[in-house]
Amino acid sequence: MTVTVACTDDIETCLDLRRAVFIDEQGVTEAEEIDGLDKDCLHLLARDGDVPVGTARVLFAGDVAKIGRVCVLKSHRGTGLGAALIRAALAEAEGRASRARLGAQTHAIGFYRALGFIPVGPVYDDAGIPHRDMVREL
């Protein structure tokens, strides 16, 4: 099957993917994961045929595109899908923001570096998981 990434209004499917990865797999609480910002975000959904397999969201604040809630189901990790989601988010941000920002789980810093992001600031705790902010000029 072919995996596609596209903007979506199907926030419930995106939330289902995030629940599977962040809540069920990583132990983040629902209260921490569902932050009330989804209605203000652009959502990306990756599908393998008709099956949802990954998601990300972009929140625009001034000239910054905050990429977040990036997740890929275990079955599709290591396939390049995470990078495809980030590239799609960056493409959506082009012309709408001058900088992209994200909070990377520290184990994923190398992944985001390879996509042009630079770490900034100290490591911090987010939902019990060490993170570091990263930025990329658009």
pLDDT per residue over 36-68, tens digit each?
A: 999 999 999 999 999 999 999 999 999 999 999
Distance between CA 59 and CA 34 in Å, rounded? Answer: 14
3-class state of residue 54 by DSSP: strand
As for how many domains the chain has, the answer is 1
6 pLDDT above the threshold of 70: yes
Q: Give me the CATH number covering residue 60.
A: 3.40.630.30
Q: Are 135 and 104 in contact (CB under 8 A)?
A: no
In the predicted model, what is the mean pLDDT of residues 20-35?
94
How many other CB atoms are there within 10 angstroms of residue 124's CB atom? Answer: 12
pTM: 0.95
Average pLDDT of the residues in 84-105 = 97
Place of tokens 């604040």: 61
- Residue 64 makes CB contacts below 8 A (sequence gap 6+) with 97, 98, 99, 100, 101
The residues, ordered by sequence, that sit 6+ positions from 40 with a Cβ below 8 Å of its Cβ are: 59
Can you tell me the mean pLDDT for 23-42? 95
Structural domain of 35: 3-137
Structure confidence at residue 2 (pLDDT): 85
